[in-house]
Amino acid sequence: MAAPKVAVVGAGVIGLSTALCITETCPSCSVTILSDQFSPNTTSDVAAGMLIPHTYPGTPIHVQKQWFKETFAYLFAISNSAEASEAGIHLVSGWQVFKNAPKEELPFWSDVVLGFRLMSEAELRKFPQHRFGQAFMTLKCDCPPYLLWLEKRLKATGAQMYTRKVADLWELHSEYNVVVNCAGIGAQQLVGDKELFPVRGQVLKVHAPWVKNFIRDGDGLTYIYPGIHRVTLGGTREKESWSLFPDPGTTKDIFDRCCSLEPSLRGAQDIKVKVGLRPSRRCVRLQREVLSQGGLKLPVVHNYGHGAGGFSMHRGTAKEAARLVGECIAALQGSLSRAKL
């Protein structure tokens, strides 16, 4: 068959990295990214981009660990290259602190990040409200530059990008052989997924270049993540809230909470407020499906529903989605050769 045509719907970190993995594993494919929004207007642009996994209750832990390991290894290699600054990726050390010791002193990802250990009593004095902590080094993605870096890599492979709102995956059946759904929260409408719901996140991006270490409260609500140019302060987890408008009361609350962990932030300048809707479900939807109408078939691969863990898992799930696309293409080629017989 001629070069198989693959459409990837969605241009956040999941869509772009999935498209890139497809070009790497199936170089004969023609890949097109379709999205109504590209950077800097995606949910991924708002994300803090810290590689600290969030657990999906509906996905086996060994699968989550594999996705995280693959993502960490991929970004670690970039952080060790001449492209680290352009891609917005760097190593950062810091602490995750708890008011009470968690059930699991060693999270499933503790041997993937670097130098994971329990905090000493002397270190914990920095956080008088907290009684237990973990220290480690992980990777931080500055999201807008990383998305632009992914786009640049995709363009170099010949991939096409078009601004287009896809209302129904079936509308693509006459143009493409395989469609990949990376629509994030948009998948709720696009494929009618009732298990998918938004978790609203409001964050502050501030200028505080003296803050060098990340600090994360173990409840996951309050965090300070230093990037290359700005520090991300968070946050909120508001289930089923669709509002993209910043709330001034929430801004003050986030700032106060972060200052209680790192009092020097009172001197932070140039505070910008961002809001994003995390596409959340019990487990990432990563599977093949065949849509059919009137005797015609359209192979689809779904890769969405990463919630707050998109950056931590993106490369691992993109590799799996690309493998599924390869299976779809092999099945199409098999049916074509059988038809010729």
CB atoms under 10 Å from CB of 183, counted, come to 29
Q: What are phi and psi of 296, to 5 degrees?
A: -95, 150
Q: Residue 145 to residues 85, 172, 273: CA-CA distances in angstroms?
A: 9, 30, 18
Upper half-sphere CA count for residue 170 (Cβ side, 13 Å)? 7
Asked whether 224 and 206 are in contact (CB, 8 A), the reply is no
Cβ contact 237:199 at 8 Å = yes
- 44 in a labelled binding site: yes
Q: Is 189 in a helix, a strand, or coil?
A: helix
Half-sphere exposure of 322 (CA within 13 A, CB side): 22
C-alpha angle with apex 150: 144 to 156, nearest 5 degrees? 140
Q: Is 223 labelled as part of a ligand binding site?
A: yes
Angle between helical axes of 310-340 and 13-25 (0-180°, round to 10): 40
Q: Is 43 annotated as a binding residue?
A: yes
Q: What is the DSSP letter of 3?
A: P
Structure tokens at 204: 């502050």
b vs e for 330-340, b when ≥16 Cβ sit within 10 Å of the residue's Cβ? eebeeeeeeee
**How far is C-alpha 139 from the chain's CA centre?**
13
Pick the closest to residue 67 from 280, 303, 329 (CA basis).
Answer: 303
Q: Which residues are annotated as a binding site for D-dopa?
A: 223, 278
Detail the residues annotated as belonging to a binding site for FAD. Answer: 43-44, 166
As annotated, the binding site includes 43-44, 166, 223, 278
